């Protein structure tokens, strides 16, 4: 290939993997089916607010380092913004924009009274001490505090953030507000207003989505071989819950490598090893393979539960799964999704499949505002009701428009937001 063709190919891949452009493609396809005029499209596409902040932090060695943080509020038509905060070295504004828009559609597809938001800080948490991460989190909270609030914007954990991060945010906000405000974030520890079932919620939503989608492809859990990319809160818990449902989990992975056993992994043993060792490496009950091979393994169900842009036009034709359940946000590019659907692969899109997390975040927000907390059985039961209802609505929309589940989910979500926009009208 000539250098000119190589550059053109690289540029095409950059555009394909741009998460905001990928989101926009899905939006435009659904908007065409809905017959939305250009004015409404423009309103719903554009973020309401984007904030970029500089965060000077004193490091443990006494030096001062300046970090960059973002918070994007995509849409507040249906309620306060809702969405996670991620700490990662490759965070960028296009990514945060796309994730905030996906949160709008995700909240809408499961019919929660929220709009979408997302935040991120460019840093590498693996190289930072607990004290440095606390100072960074508190500084970030103060910097974006003017746009936060239980009725304005409610963050949650995301990549490389957790319950402790949320506790620091809640405490910082509460100190400045001069009152304890538990409903400012979700995904908190139980002791300060967290919800039962929140940590397992995204993985549980993936399991519920897989159960519903298996009916479409005519399979039963006990006959389904599953590859799970990831082993964290989504991949690990999702794999365990699928294992308990009778699925055969043949592969799991983490950032250090991938394990595979065609006869099925002992998932509880895998997760115990992971808790003790911090990585899958060294697990004795499986073969260790290259991470690049995992998505192309022979399987019935593929659960990409790591990060975005894992399935692209470069590897879509080598995907063997009949069903893909997207545990991560944006793991399949728009182009790859079209290639797979043209081959008859059923894809349960991220805005539906991983909506269990935001659904139980909503439950946590409601419980904090009431000051009354539910049992885990009630949380899980209500989560299942919402997820199954949303799946059925999306499946019905797919039949009505003769489209895949991804486009159908966008149609359901965008139609709800557009309806509210028409009812509320323009402010001027």
Reported pTM: 0.93
Task: Sort residue 149 into left (φ over 0), alpha (ψ -120 to 50) or beta.
Answer: left
Residue 24 has what pLDDT? 85
Residue 310 has what pLDDT? 93
Residue 411 has what pLDDT? 97
Residue 1 has what pLDDT? 52
Instruction: Give the dihedral sign, CA 381/386/388/389.
Output: positive
For residue 219, with 0-12 CB atoms within 10 Å meaning exposed, 13-18 middle and 19 or more buried, which class applies?
Answer: middle
Q: Where are the domains of the chain?
A: 47-182, 201-353
Residue 169 has what pLDDT? 98
Residue 19 has what pLDDT? 81
Residue 25 has what pLDDT? 86
Q: Is 232 helix (H, G, I), strand (E, B) or coil?
A: coil
Q: What is the DSSP letter of 149?
A: B
Domain 201-353, CATH: 3.40.50.720
Element (H, E) at 154: strand 153-157
User: CA-CA distances (angstroms) from residue 262 to 214, 251, 297, 307?
Assistant: 20, 8, 10, 24
End-to-end CA distance of the chain: 55
Nearest to 306 by CA among 233, 213, 244, 245: 233
Nearest to 303 by CA among 395, 369, 231: 231
> Are 147 and 51 a contacting pair, CB within 8 Å?
yes
> Can you give the length of the chain in residues?
428
Residue 423: partners with Cβ closer than 8 Å, 6 or more residues away? none
- CB-side neighbour CA atoms (13 Å) of 419: 9
The catalytic residue among 118, 188, 322, 338 is 118
In this structure, which topology does domain 47-182 adopt according to CATH?
Answer: Rossmann fold (3.40.50)
Structure tokens at 193: 């207003």
DSSP 329-345: SS-B-HHHHHHHHHTT-
How far is Cα 28 from Cα 18, in angstroms, rounded to an integer?
A: 15
> Are 262 and 239 a contacting pair, CB within 8 Å?
no
Q: Is 70 helix (H, G, I), strand (E, B) or coil?
A: strand
Residue 3 has what pLDDT? 56
Which regions of 331-395 does DSSP assign to beta strands (E)?
346-348
Instruction: Give the dihedral sign, CA 197/201/204/209.
Output: positive
Mean pLDDT by 10 residues, the chain (428 residues): 58 84 87 94 93 98 98 97 96 92 96 98 97 98 97 95 97 97 97 96 97 96 96 94 98 94 96 94 92 94 92 95 95 93 96 97 98 98 98 97 96 97 80
Nearest to 421 by CA among 77, 49, 32, 36: 77
Q: 118 an active-site residue?
A: yes
Residue 11 has what pLDDT? 82
Residue 339 has what pLDDT? 95
In the block, tokens 């944006």 appear at: 330
Residue 21 has what pLDDT? 84
């Amino acid at each position: 290939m000539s250098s000119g063709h190589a550059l053109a190919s690289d540029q095409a891949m950059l555009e394909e993997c741009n998460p905001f452009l990928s989101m926009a493609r899905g939006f435009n396809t659904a908007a065409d089916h809905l017959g939305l005029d250009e004015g409404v499209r423009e309103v719903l596409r554009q973020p309401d607010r984007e904030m970029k902040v500089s965060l000077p932090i004193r490091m443990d060695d006494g030096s001062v380092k300046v970090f960059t943080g973002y918070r994007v509020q995509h849409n507040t038509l249906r309620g306060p913004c809702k969405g996670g905060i991620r700490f990662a070295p490759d965070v960028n504004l296009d990514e945060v924009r796309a994730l905030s828009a996906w949160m709008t559609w995700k909240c809408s597809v499961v019919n929660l009274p929220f709009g979408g938001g997302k935040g991120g800080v460019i840093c590498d948490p693996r190289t930072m001490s607990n004290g440095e991460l606390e100072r960074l989190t508190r500084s970030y909270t103060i910097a974006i505090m003017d746009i936060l609030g239980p009725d304005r914007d409610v963050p949650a954990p995301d990549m490389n953030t957790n319950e402790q991060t949320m506790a620091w945010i809640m405490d910082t906000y509460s100190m400045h507000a001069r009152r304890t405000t538990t409903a400012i974030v979700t995904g908190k520890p139980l002791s300060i207003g967290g919800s039962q079932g929140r940590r397992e919620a995204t993985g549980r939503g993936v399991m519920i989505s897989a159960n519903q989608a298996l009916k479409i492809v005519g399979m039963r859990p006990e006959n389904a071989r599953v590859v799970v990319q990831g082993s964290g809160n989504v991949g690990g818990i999702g794999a365990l819950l699928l294992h308990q449902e009778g699925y055969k989990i043949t592969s799991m992975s983490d950032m250090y490598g991938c394990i595979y056993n065609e006869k099925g992994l002992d998932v509880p043993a895998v997760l115990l090893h992971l808790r003790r060792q911090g990585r899958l490496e060294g697990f004795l009950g499986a073969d260790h393979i290259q991470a690049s091979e995992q998505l192309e393994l022979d399987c019935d169900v593929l659960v990409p539960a790591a990060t975005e842009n894992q399935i692209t036009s470069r590897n879509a034709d080598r995907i063997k799964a009949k069903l893909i359940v997207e545990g991560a946000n944006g793991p399949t590019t728009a182009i790859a999704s079209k290639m797979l659907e043209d081959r008859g692969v059923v894809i349960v899109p991220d805005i539906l499949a991983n909506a269990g997390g935001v659904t139980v975040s909503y439950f946590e927000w409601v419980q904090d505002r009431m000051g009354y907390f539910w049992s885990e059985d009630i949380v899980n039961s209500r989560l299942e009701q919402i997820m199954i209802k949303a799946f059925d609505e999306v499946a019905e929309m797919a039949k009505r428009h003769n489209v895949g589940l991804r486009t159908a989910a966008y149609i359901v979500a965008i139609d709800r937001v557009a309806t509210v926009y028409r009812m509320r009208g323009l402010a001027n």
